Structure 1
Amino acid sequence: MSRRFILAVFTLLASVLDFGEAARILAVFPAVSVSHQVVFRKLTLALNKRGHELFVVTPSPVNDPSLKNYTEIDTSIQYNEKDALPNLIELRGKVDWFGFFEVFEPMVTEQVAQIFEHPDLKKLYDPNSGEKFDLILMQMFTYPGLMALAERFKAPMIGIVSASPQTSVQYAIGNPILHSDPSNWQLDMKIPGPPSWIPWKRLDNFIQTWRFIYYHRTVFLPKHQKIAEKYLGNDIPDLHDLEKNISLIFVNQQGPISFARPNVPKVIEIGGFHVTDNIKPLPKDLKKVLDEATQGFIYMSLGSNVKSNMLSEKARNAFITAFSKLPYKVIWKFEDDQLEGKPDNVIILKWAPQQSILAHPNIKLFIYQGGLQSTEEAVSHAVPLIGFPVMSDQDMNLRKMVSVGVAKKLEITKINEDDFLEAIRTVAGDDGYKQRMLNLRSLLKDKPHDILENAIWWTEHVIRHKGAPHLHSTTADEPWYQRQDMDIIAFLTSLFVISLILSLLVFYKCIIYSIRLFSHPTVKKSKKRN
């Protein structure tokens, strides 16, 4: 009886857990940004815990020797390329979204070649390696040449992005292109923007969006095609086809804090992976300062890509002067050893335990650059915001936060002490911002399922069925002019123009005929009189 009972319990547990067969997964995450990597890492670690074997290509490895069946290929050399980038804050205002892409393009193109050259990855994709994978998990963010690894291993591919997909990915999978919708990354990236006359602004959005899509498909992808062919052979498929036939894409978006937009079925929302409920204790010295900040404190960080030491002297002085007039303590993530003119109420830290700081009950306000991961953390801890967007999706994230009444958005290239002080006093002093943030947090937590578990289910769904062609949208196979009904519009416009021309010709003939008709008898009468 006991043996039967044990067997029954084991069977029940197996059916509930449903681990299924372990798969071999190659995960490729090239982005040189910790804020991106923490999102991907949560999924790969969960898949490993589920029983799958992971090979992870990343510049930010976890380096945890206790992990089994979890092999990391360290590409941290990529950070050397990133250090050569120009000052991103200075770049804002001088170029539009496309200009930012042009700055990053040489770096990411070089990094794709570096990753292919990595000896540990070379061993895997060598034709004689005998290595096989059941799935390729690929970051979809300006590194398209690496998608060819899915063809090398004849494995289905799942894309993952740590923000909403850029326009080129939206186009590739068949999503509608929304030129002037607030969900578009490329809005507000050019400072000053186009004139306020709305039709002209929409025209500018249209031109900038299609300019980027055209460049991506006709210049950028062919460059990466050549790199992929160099390392994997000339017989790999066109990257355009690999991109549009991806099984599905995990998109780091959550409805309440993102602009709603139509998506094809292969877009699966994830989000908040990296936000933890197990908040680590603050360092003792910092905890003492924050505990004693009975009037409250402000936390400022411009993230891991945009740094406070990139600020111009004018902007830095505006921040310093404004902070000196506040009754609050200010914790400022500042990457230099010294901050000249630092007020007594300001504490600078080269590195800050952000989630632990945001979780502290005395916090009044978070000043940041609009990054999505920081936005998720702020909402999770119900901390109102002031944002200074610089690049990528940061404008879009702040547009959403402002629209729901939990943030103010300022322009970092035009910062002045008075506007900054007014924004701080408004957001920190108005309880409405806090209450709306609490409501937003409640909405964010009200979900029909666990997002991480849902992502694991979809991952294993693709593995079980060796792809997901049933999620493919036929729109992705159509040329651009059919997607936008441009052929129909051109046809109808041609008919209209031809009809208009014919009508004008007929009208002209009628006028001429009428003139001749009425003028002819007059001529005859004049002849008879003579």
Structure 2
Amino acid sequence: HLNPKFSCRQLFFLKLVLHFSNKVSWSGKVLVFPVDGSHWVNMNLMIQGLHNRGHEVTVVRTDSSWYVKETAPHYTSLTIALPEAIAIEKEDFFVTFLMKMLAIKKAGSSPVAFLSFYWEMLGALSKIHQQASMVGVQMLENKTLMQKLRETKYDVVLIDPGLPVGVLVAHELGVPTVYNVRWITSGEGHFVVAPSPTSYVPTSGVALPDKMTFWQRLQNTLHYGLNTCIDKFVVAPVYDRLVEKYFGSDISFYHMLQGADIWLMRVDFVFEFPRPTMPNIVYIGGFQCKPSSPLPPELEDFVQSSGDHGFILMSLGTLVKALPKEITSKIAAAFAQLPQKVIWRHAGEKPDNLGNNTLLLKWLPQNDLLGHPKIKAFVAHGGTNGIYESIYHGVPIVGVPLLFDQPENVLRLEVRGAAKVLDVTHITTESFLGTVKEVVRNPFYRNNMKRLSSLHRDKPMHPLDTALFWIEFVMRHKGAAHLRTESYKMPWYSYYSVDVVSFLIAVVLLSMWIFFAVVRFLCCRIIRKRKPKQE
């Protein structure tokens, strides 16, 4: 208990001492396996937070990485040379992927074209994991490097399991693991670690609500089975071969993957549909969000010139540089008819029909623009980072989903009345203009997003602080085994109690057989006794 006579200066000094002593007490060593691209944006924030708390951070990167820099003030890098660059670390990979997908949709989704594209996508997926697995090969084969890592005595390995090669290295080092996760080899991370009934939990890759019709539940179940098959027959074999080579056949890669101590899930149920969870899942959705900062003077002048009409922001994220010109020209023509000013992150070919109210930029301070009082709407592809920043600042969305989880993301906001979604392959100037006007002018969308923002912000601590606490928790206690279920090690027939149900059915059938056998025996005996009397 503090003496009530303590002065404010004494209290401040005591708080300062406790703050710095806490940093010194819990400083540790963290080994990080990130995924390049947009995933690195939020992993980097977590690394900065760990560095600010006094931890030593080592980041494993490849020599072809274009986001994870070799030198940085808040981490030391460990660069692994690969015989071939990982495909997703090439800047044009997602642009090429998008172009092919749009071409198929535009052609009317012919089954032959779709199957051909899907087969090509599965081949690309397998190759990406084969390339990524070489990081593990290069590290595990390098005895000098592994000995150095053992001598460093890391306290925790922080992994983005989208490319899960770090799981193998962590297992070899015998260090507890924490995942910075939403996506994993088979899709959304919950499906690997928590019960996921397909009756009301939409599976990865299909844009469905949590209240489904019979046909939607059928579609959801079939899609879940497809995801499971892809993971089992396309992705997992790449890592199973490494596990068998370096650790023997007694351990399964999938069990290794499921055995993380803590799952830092980039999810907030303000946005995500409710679903079952587990004790070692910690929710940190929106941990990258923060208050806006002042805009650069020239950008502020442009925003202020919008007057009472305000401005609209458009951005397609970090992975996709641009839409085809025929689509962007339709969007530009729609923007030109609006009274609002438009700030558009656009790195591709300049579209036709560009109005005087539209400013094209190759880079923009997205968070600061979303937090500006004059913003009216955000035209976005539906990437998770942009979604949470919009929720944080209460800005309604015009969704133009392009790839991967983006259709699912914008659907969740549309169901909550905070977004309106367009199909990028069917955009016309009129449809785009009408949708933007609807979102800007109808207070329904802004009010719903403001409500989500209020719910999202109402937390006992910031999600980033929550994430850092649990990483340090694992460091302090050498893991979190008491929060982790061992159910993933059970065979499928035990997990789903097929053996128990089969036993109970057998007992019931045996009991019924015995009952009928006894009844039959008694009936026969009675009949035999009656026959002599009748004679």
TM-score range, shorter chain: 0.7 to 0.9
2:280 — aligned with what? 266
Counterpart of 1:18 in 2: which secondary structure?
A: helix
Does the 8 Å CA contact 1:48/1:54 hold for their aligned counterparts?
yes
Correspondences of 1:16-35 after superposition (within 5 Å): 18-19=22-23, 20-29=25-34, 31-33=35-37, 35=38
Q: Measure how far apart 1:75 and its partner are.
A: 6.9
2:254 — aligned with what? 240
Alignment partner for residue 298 of structure 2, among 272, 285, 289?
285
Alignment partner for residue 155 of structure 1, among 175, 179, 184?
175
1:133 — aligned with what? 154
1:187 aligned to 2:191? no
Distance 1:470 1:290, change over 3 A: same
State the alpha-carbon separation in 2 of the partners of residues 164 and 112 from structure 1: 15
2:98 — aligned with what? 88
Amino acid at match of 1:367: V
Q: Measure how far apart 1:244 and its partner are.
A: 1.9
Counterpart of 1:255 in 2: which secondary structure?
A: coil
Amino acid at match of 1:28: F
Correspondences of 1:23-62 after superposition (within 5 Å): 23-29=28-34, 31-33=35-37, 35-58=38-61, 59=65, 60-61=67-68
Q: Measure how far apart 1:483 and its partner are.
A: 4.1
Distance 1:21 1:32, change over 3 A: closer
1:451 aligned to 2:463? yes
Does the 8 Å CA contact 2:180/2:263 hold for their aligned counterparts?
yes
1:466 aligned to 2:478? yes
1:370 — aligned with what? 382
2:519 — aligned with what? none
State the alpha-carbon separation in 1 of the partners of residues 143 and 218 from structure 2: 46
Amino acid at match of 1:36: H
Q: Measure how far apart 1:374 and its partner are.
A: 0.1
Amino acid at match of 2:315: S
Does the 8 Å CA contact 1:23/1:134 hold for their aligned counterparts?
yes
Segments of 5+ residues of structure 1 without an aligned counterpart are 190-196, 499-530
Q: Measure how far apart 1:390 and its partner are.
A: 2.2
2:514 — aligned with what? none
1:111 — aligned with what? 132
Q: Measure how far apart 1:128 and its partner are.
A: 8.8
Amino acid at match of 2:54: G
Correspondences of 1:25-424 after superposition (within 5 Å): 25-29=30-34, 31-33=35-37, 35-58=38-61, 59=65, 60-61=67-68, 66-67=73-74, 70-73=75-78, 78=86, 80-81=89-90, 83-85=92-94, 86-88=96-98, 90-91=100-101, 93=105, 103-114=124-135, 117=138, 124-126=145-147, 130-141=151-162, 143-162=163-182, 167=187, 169-173=189-193, 175-181=194-200, 183-188=202-207, 198-227=213-242, 237-277=251-291, 279-282=293-296, 284-294=297-307, 295-309=309-323, 311=324, 313=326, 315-424=327-436
State the alpha-carbon separation in 2 of the partners of residues 272 and 358 from structure 1: 14
Pairwise CA RMSD = 3.9
Q: Measure how far apart 1:159 and its partner are.
A: 1.1
State the alpha-carbon separation in 1 of the partners of residues 78 and 496 from structure 2: 42
Q: Measure how far apart 1:434 and its partner are.
A: 1.7
Distance 1:336 1:215, change over 3 A: closer
Distance 1:128 1:135, change over 3 A: closer
* TM-score, structure 1 normalization: 0.79
Does the 8 Å CA contact 2:292/2:368 hold for their aligned counterparts?
no
State the alpha-carbon separation in 2 of the partners of residues 431 and 51 from structure 1: 46
State the alpha-carbon separation in 1 of the partners of residues 478 and 90 from structure 2: 36
For residues 362-406 of structure 1, what are the alpha-carbon distances to aligned partners after superposition, in whole Å with 9 as ceiling and x for unaligned? 221111111111011112222111112223322222122112211
More displaced stretch, 267-276 vs 71-80: 71-80
State the alpha-carbon separation in 1 of the partners of residues 484 and 129 from structure 2: 28
Query: Which one scores higher on RCO, CA 8 angstroms, separation ≥ 6?
Result: 1
Q: Measure how far apart 1:361 and its partner are.
A: 2.2
Distance 1:163 1:378, change over 3 A: farther
Amino acid at match of 2:40: Q
Amino acid at match of 1:432: F
Does the 8 Å CA contact 1:98/1:208 hold for their aligned counterparts?
no
1:438 — aligned with what? 450
Counterpart of 1:181 in 2: which secondary structure?
A: coil
Percentage of identical aligned residues? 25
For residues 309-333 of structure 1, what are the alpha-carbon distances to aligned partners after superposition, in whole Å with 9 as ceiling and x for unaligned? 3x362x3343133223222222221
Does the 8 Å CA contact 2:381/2:400 hold for their aligned counterparts?
yes
Amino acid at match of 2:222: I
State the alpha-carbon separation in 1 of the partners of residues 200 and 241 from structure 2: 34
State the alpha-carbon separation in 1 of the partners of residues 505 and 454 from structure 2: 50
Q: Measure how far apart 1:470 and its partner are.
A: 0.9
State the alpha-carbon separation in 1 of the partners of residues 259 and 420 from structure 2: 40
Segments of 5+ residues of structure 2 without an aligned counterpart are 1-6, 511-535
Does the 8 Å CA contact 1:308/1:333 hold for their aligned counterparts?
no
Counterpart of 1:177 in 2: which secondary structure?
A: coil
State the alpha-carbon separation in 1 of the partners of residues 462 and 14 from structure 2: 24
Aligned length: 481
For residues 86-122 of structure 1, what are the alpha-carbon distances to aligned partners after superposition, in whole Å with 9 as ceiling and x for unaligned? 3325426455997756544422431331575489998
State the alpha-carbon separation in 2 of the partners of residues 11 and 454 from structure 1: 24
Amino acid at match of 1:291: Q
1:527 — aligned with what? none
Does the 8 Å CA contact 2:36/2:68 hold for their aligned counterparts?
no
Distance 1:10 1:318, change over 3 A: closer
Counterpart of 1:201 in 2: which secondary structure?
A: helix
Amino acid at match of 1:241: H
State the alpha-carbon separation in 2 of the partners of residues 14 and 165 from structure 1: 44
Q: Measure how far apart 1:267 and its partner are.
A: 0.6
